[in-house]
Amino acid sequence: MNNTRVNTASTSNTFIRKQNYSSTTVLIIVGFLVFTVLCIYLYNAYKAFKAKLLATNVTKAFTTCPDYWDSIGNNKCQNTKALGSCSTTDGANIMDFGGEIFTNANTGNYAKCKWAQGCNVSWSGIDRLC
């Protein structure tokens, strides 16, 4: 009985089955590989685009003064055209943006935005931060 098993095992080892793949199977495999490579490429391109976008937003410099105001130096701006609702107050035609609240690296632009909205003054790039 053991001899029969050995013969059967040796017979099946010498018989190598040949796999026949249909063209549909090959197309599915190749298509999946192309799709995977395309997804990886698009993901890397998106990451590079997002990094570039963040880099431009961080380094974007805003103007010192609100729109149509004149800079008179030392972070001071003069409202020569009487724009906004704060211009009706006496002495409000000159604003000092040199204080800690406006120069803070983390919250300064936000404070400028709140000020611009409170005075109803447009300030390119700043008035959309809050």
What six digits make up the tokens of 94? 């000159």
- Where is the domain boundary, 12, 38, 60? 60
Q: Residue 94: inside a domain, yes or no?
A: yes
Q: Residue 31: inside a domain, yes or no?
A: yes
User: Which domain range does residue 50 map to?
Assistant: 21-60
DSSP 8-class letter at 77? E
Span 49-77, pLDDT tens digits: 988 877 765 556 788 899 999 999 889 99
Give yes or no: residues 78 and 114 share one domain.
yes
**For the chain, what is the domain count?**
2
- Helix (H) or strand (E) holding 55, with range, is helix 23-59
Give yes or no: residues 74 and 108 share one domain.
yes
Is the confidence at residue 119, as pLDDT, over 80? yes
Of 63, 40, 32, the residue nearest 127 (C-alpha): 63
Backbone φ, ψ for residue 21 (5° rounding) = -100, 135
CA 84 – CA 78 distance, rounded (Å): 12
Output the pLDDT for position 62.
80
Please tell me the pTM assigned to this model.
0.53
Span 18-52, pLDDT tens digits: 667 788 888 999 999 999 999 999 999 999 998 88
Residue 94, SS3 per DSSP: strand
Q: Residue 2: inside a domain, yes or no?
A: no
Q: What is the mean pLDDT of residues 110-121?
A: 92
Give yes or no: residues 53 and 78 share one domain.
no
Give yes or no: residues 76 and 94 share one domain.
yes
